[in-house]
Amino acid sequence: MAISLQPFHEIPIPAPITGDTDARDPDAMHRSSATPMSPTDQRYRECLDNARRVCAAGTVPTMLVIGGPEMAAVRCNEALATLLNHPRAATRDESGPTLLPGGWAAVADALRPLYGVEGTGGSATPPDGAPLQLPTEPPLSLRATPLLVDGRVVGVLATATMDGAIAKLEEAMRAEVARTTAARSRFLASASHDLRQPFQAMRLFLDALTTQVEGNARASRTAGMLANAMTAGEQLLNALLDISTLDAGTVEADLQPVSLDAMLQSLAEEFRPQAEEKGLRLRLHLPCQAFTRSDPVLLGRIVRNLLANAIRYTQRGGILLGLRERDGQWRIEVWDTGFGIPQDKLDVIFDEFHQLTNPARDPTRGLGLGLAIVRRLSVLLSAPIDVRSRSGRGSVFAVTVDRLEGEGALADAPSATASSDHGAAAVPLDGMRILVVDDDSMVLSGLLLTLESWGCAFVSASNMREVFAAVDGLEGPPDAILTDLRLPGKVSGFDVIDRVRKLFKANIPAVVLTGETAPESLLEGQRRGCAFLHKPLHPGDLRRVLEEVRRDGTAGC
Tell me the CATH number at 441.
3.40.50.2300
**242 shares its domain with 385:** no
193 and 225 share one domain:
yes
> Which pLDDT score, from 0 to 100, does residue 333 have?
92
123, 116 Cβ separation under 8 angstroms? yes
Within a domain: residue 104? yes
Residue 136 lies in a domain: yes
Q: What's the pLDDT score for residue 423?
A: 45
Provide the domain count of the chain: 3
- 143 and 244: one domain? no
How many C-beta atoms lie closer than 10 Å to residue 47's C-beta? 21
What integer pLDDT is reported at residue 401 of this predicted model?
A: 92
Domain shared by 299 and 396, yes or no: yes
Q: Are the CB atoms for 466 and 499 separated by under 8 Å?
A: no
How far is 436 from 511, CA to CA, in rounded Å?
10
The alpha carbon of 104 is separated from its chain's Cα centroid by a whole number of angstroms, namely 40
pLDDT value, residue 165: 57
Q: What are phi and psi of 112, to 5 degrees?
A: -55, -40
**CATH of residue 139:** 3.30.450.20
Helix or strand or coil: residue 362?
coil
Does residue 440 share a domain with residue 503? Answer: yes
Q: What pLDDT is attached to residue 32?
A: 44
Which pLDDT value is given to residue 538? 78
Distances from the Cα of 78 to the Cα of 65, 89, 108, angstroms: 15, 8, 22
pLDDT for the residue 432: 92
Given a cut of 50, the residues of the chain with pLDDT beneath it are: 6-33, 118-123, 353-354, 358-367, 407-408, 415-423, 557
- Position 459 scores a pLDDT of 92
In a shared domain, residues 458 and 476? yes
Residue 192 lies in a domain: yes
What does the alpha-carbon distance between residue 270 and residue 384 come to, in Å, rounded to a whole number?
Answer: 24
Starting at the edge strand that comes first in sequence, how are the strands of the sheet with 531-534 ordered? Answer: 457-461, 433-437, 480-484, 510-514, 531-534
Check: CB of residue 441 under 8 Å from CB of residue 462: yes
With respect to residue 125, please indicate whether it lies within any of the assigned structural domains: yes
Name the pairing type of β-strands 281-285 and 318-326. parallel
* CA pair distance 250, 515, nearest whole angstrom: 15
Q: Residues 203-233: pLDDT tens digits? A: 778 877 888 888 888 888 888 888 777 776 7
CA–CA dist 208, 451 (Å, integer): 9
Are residues 264 and 243 part of one domain?
no
DSSP annotation of 126 reads: P
What is the number of alpha carbons within 13 Å of residue 431 lying toward its C-beta? 2
Pairing of strands 73-76, 394-402: unpaired
Rounded Cα distance between 133 and 107, Å, is 7
Residues 282 and 408 in one domain: yes
- DSSP-assigned states of every residue in 216-234: -HHHHHHHHHHHHHHHHHH
Please tell me whether residues 367 and 270 are part of one structural domain: yes
Helix axes 296-312, 370-380, angle to 10 degrees: 150
* List of residues 6+ apart from 226 with CB closer than 8 A: 206
- Position 182, amino acid: A
Cα 147 to Cα 154: distance, rounded to the nearest angstrom: 6
Cβ of 459: how many Cβ atoms within 10 Å?
Answer: 19
Under 8 Å between Cβ of 368 and 355 = yes
- 8 A C-beta contact, residue 282 and residue 303: no
Domain boundary among the residues 412, 445, 473 is at 412
Q: Are residues 396 and 266 in the same domain?
A: yes
Within a domain: 122: yes
CA-CA-CA-CA torsion sign (546, 548, 553, 556): negative
Q: Which of 109, 115, 119 is nearest to 152 (CA)?
A: 115
Assigned domain for 76 exists: yes
Residues 243 and 280 placed together within one structural domain of the fold: no
pLDDT, one tens digit per residue, over 286-313 is 888 889 999 888 898 889 888 988 888 8
Question: Considering the domain boundaries, does residue 75 fall inside one?
Answer: yes
- Entry pTM: 0.46
- Report which DSSP code applies to 515: S
How far apart are alpha carbons 63 and 106 in whole angstroms?
16
* Amino acid sitting at position 272: R
Q: Given 387, 412, 437, which residue is the final one in a domain?
A: 412
CATH code, domain with 310: 3.30.565.10
Residue 196 lies in a domain: yes
User: Which pLDDT belongs to residue 478?
Assistant: 93
* 458 and 548, same domain (yes or no): yes
List the one residue out of 485, 501, 504, 481 whose CA is nearest residue 493: 485
The whole-angstrom separation of Cα 484 and Cα 467 is 13
In three-state secondary structure terms, 17 is coil
CA 510 to chain centre: 30
Identity at 92, one-letter amino acid code: R
Among 160, 176, 207, give the residue marking a domain's end.
Answer: 160
Which structural domain range is residue 67 located in?
A: 21-160
The answer to whether the peptide bond before residue 359 is cis (omega within 30 degrees of 0) is no
